[in-house]
Amino acid sequence: MATFLYKLGRLAFRRRHFVALIWVALLTLAGVGAASAPSAGSSSFSIPGTEAQKAFDLLEQRFPGGSADGGTARVVFKAPDGEKMTDAANKATVEKTVAELSDGSEVVSVADPYKAHAVSKDGTIAYASVRYEVPGMELKDASRDALEDAGQQARDAGLTVEIGGDALQTTPEAASSEVIGLAVAAVVLVITFGSLIAAGLPLLTALIGVGIGVSVITALASALDLGSTTSTLAMMIGLAVGIDYALFIVSRYRAELAEGRDREEAVGRATGTAGSAVVFAGLTVVIALVGLAVVNVPMLTKMGVAAAGTVVIAVLIALTMVPALLGYAGRKVKPAGEKGKLLGRGKKAGGKAAATTGGKEDDKPAADKPNMGTRWASFVVRRPVAVLLLGVLGLGAAALPVTSLELGLPDDGSQPTSTTQRRAYDLLSEGFGPGFNGPLMVVVDAEASDAPKNAVTEVSDEIKGLKDVVTVTPPTYNKAGDTAMITVIPDSKPSSVSTEDLVHSIRDAGTEIKADTDANVLVTGTTAMNIDFSQKLNDALVPYLILVVGLAFLLLILVFRSILVPLKAALGFLLSVLAALGAVVAVFQWGWLADLFGVQETGPVMSMMPIFMVGVVFGLAMDYEVFLVTRIREAYVHGERPSQAVVTGFRHSARVVTAAAIIMIAVFSGFIGAGESMVKMIGFGLAIAVLFDAFVVRMAIVPAVLALLGKKAWWLPKWLDRALPNVDVEGEGLRTDADSGKDTDSDGDRALVRV
């Protein structure tokens, strides 16, 4: 592996014009494809195998033309103090609004509040239901504008008007968050490298990789039903790993320059060693993302595969374009320990004048003064037990809130109070009860029943007797009279445990009714869909963990040629994820520090969070593990004692891993300021997970465990050692050749004996 990548890096360095031209051409082609492709709407959301999805499919079959997947809106009216919605003037205003809404080109129907009995008992609140023929995310701007204009005209007439439903839903904009993340990344990179040129390389290559990946996704979005939100995960992960991978190769290149090697040789060795780590780190991320297919939710599978494709592009760019750009940069990228004009005007870190070619091996800046990584690793090696206990107990304490984790999906009740959707939600709760915002749709398939209407009546009567039921509407039959829809209004809000229990109670009652009448009872609707989706994610979490951690464990055995090091990596990752989930529960479910993070409404944790965090954080955590421990193993393989190898690995890698982690934390933290509760939760969860994993697990627990294990850390059964291929991530083959005198000739070619 190291030998092949060594050759690839040198080839890219020498043929940099050709390499740069290829990537620019790919970026241009992808951009043209994205610009000329039809715009994508929201991808079709389905949850195969769930009862809610079966009921939804049945509705589309038995009630053709009903636009079961169409967008909805609820225009909620509230009368001024002392007035009622039944007053003549207010009634006239509402009827005028209903008439205006009915003229919309994408509108299927508008329910008049006075005909649909949609006026509260005290007469102060009413609502009009609007149904559209296309999903809410696909509505034209003209339809949304017409909806908002109609509401504004009613406000001008003196009524309080708010609009709920998914008709006003749009794709969350995260551009400001991305800009903040990139700005912080630029600052950290400049501090790390002390040079604008060196700092700009990881940013440039990451942006090119993300540009190609997202453009390809956009070009294929309509054909593959990827949807407008699929590129969000790809952009976030692609930007993260793109910066990381380029950062590590550039850092290793500067270290090789400091060893006295010429620039082409330094590029080859950096690509052969750090590039090998990039390949295996990228593979762990790809495994984690593609593994989302285990959940069997098409939307998640497509998102995972799209993001994995962007990671592959990031790896290829790091292995080819980064060496090419280093060739263009020339002497503007300084050896390690030597600062550029920006911070030190060509001075070494210790104050000596720097040689422009990198200096000699006996003049290494690292020997002048131990850096922070060296001092920290030396401290941990001296007190491994105390550091290990402190780290494990600290993360264990942070993970305790997970024991009370409640999962669900956000609704309009979790929106900021400044939004019209949230205010409409609150008005409906005030006028009709909290359960009105989460009605359940019960579908009775009586096609196989001898008396369909009797079966439907029995179902209706059974539901009325259940706990937590406020209203059961009369059934609506299809033309054939063998299928009916019944709307059930719970007494509790959509995201509550009581509503979930009611869904299960209706389904249990339906099982008994089917035995008596042969009628099939199914529960669907947004609330039931959310409940089934959460359950499906819960059921898939353990298989997903086994698949992702298991495959990565085997991969890390191949990389580190050890059993205990991969086991330690997997256990440390699980500890950091549990601690991060505990922090999410404490903030978003319990309300701790809610004001600090702008959490306006506490409630269940988004059901996607555990599996999403496992996938994303696992990939990034293994990045840091591979880069850090590979450097430690490299020192050990080259003859250093286990404890000294830990210190050496930290001397070379701690600063860069720290910089990479800070960049990721900044990128994810930018999403905490988002208005969407879901985006805010994802940003916080990922930021705190990277914080725990990078600074507690990788920087404290990992060196402590390696110090305690000593040589046992690198133990591998002899039979397994013989069976595994030697991928040579540490670049031992490169050192062997150099020691044998097979170095570079004038043409830059090398005779290498290992493949």
What gap in Å lies between CA 110 and CA 90, rounded to an integer?
18
Q: What are 328's two structure tokens?
A: 């263009």
Q: From residue 576, how far is each of 14, 391, 570, 629 by CA, in Å? A: 43, 10, 10, 18
CA-based diameter of the chain, in Å?
A: 99
pLDDT at 351: 43
Indicate if the alpha-carbon torsion angle 394, 396, 400, 402 is positive or negative. Answer: positive
Kindly calculate the radius of gyration of the chain based on its CA atoms and give it in whole angstroms. Answer: 30
Closest CA relative to residue 30, chosen from 207, 216, 185: 216
Give the alpha-carbon dihedral of 50, 52, 57, 59, to 10 degrees. 160
Burial class (CB in 10 A: 0-12, 13-18, 19+), 433: middle
Model confidence pTM above 0.85: no
Which residue do the tokens 């490299």 mark? Answer: 634
Token digits for 8? 């690839």
**364 closest CA partner among 450, 453, 258, 444:** 258
Q: Indicate if the alpha-carbon torsion angle 360, 201, 16, 273 is positive or negative.
A: positive
Do 250 and 271 touch, CB atoms closer than 8 A? no
Structure-token pair, residue 397: 């304490």
Burial of 82 (0-12, 13-18, 19+ CB in 10 A): exposed
Q: What are phi and psi of 73, to 5 degrees?
A: -145, 145
In this prediction, residue 169 carries a pLDDT of: 67
Separation of first and last alpha carbons in the chain: 7
pLDDT of residue 582: 94
Predicted local distance difference test score (pLDDT) of residue 58:
87
Residues 6 or more apart whose Cβ sits within 8 Å of residue 609 = 407, 581, 584, 681, 682, 685
For residue 177, the model assigns a pLDDT of: 56
- Helix 642-669 and helix 372-382, axial crossing angle in degrees, nearest 10: 120
Pairwise CA distance, residues 683 & 603, whole Å: 17
Q: Per 3-state DSSP, what percentage of the chain is helix, strand, and coil (rounded to 5)?
A: 65, 10, 25
Q: Which of 438, 430, 427, 417 is nearest to 599 (CA)?
A: 417
Distance, CA of 317 to CA of 324 (rounded, Å):
10
What is the mean pLDDT, run by run of 10 residues, along the chain of 755 residues? 85 91 93 77 67 85 67 88 90 90 83 85 89 76 86 90 79 55 76 76 87 86 68 77 86 86 88 85 85 82 87 93 89 72 49 40 49 86 93 94 82 74 88 86 86 87 87 84 87 84 90 84 86 85 84 82 87 90 91 80 80 79 80 82 89 83 80 70 87 91 92 87 73 54 39 32
Tallying the residues shown for the chain, one arrives at: 755
* Helix (H/G/I), strand (E/B), else coil: 470: strand
**Among 502, 538, 293, residue whose Cα is nearest residue 409:** 538
Q: What is the token pair recorded at 646?
A: 């830990």
Q: Which residues on neighbouring strands pair with residue 484, listed in sequence order?
A: 444, 477
Alpha-carbon distances of 232 from 19, 201, 213, 307, 616, rounded to whole Å: 28, 23, 11, 9, 13
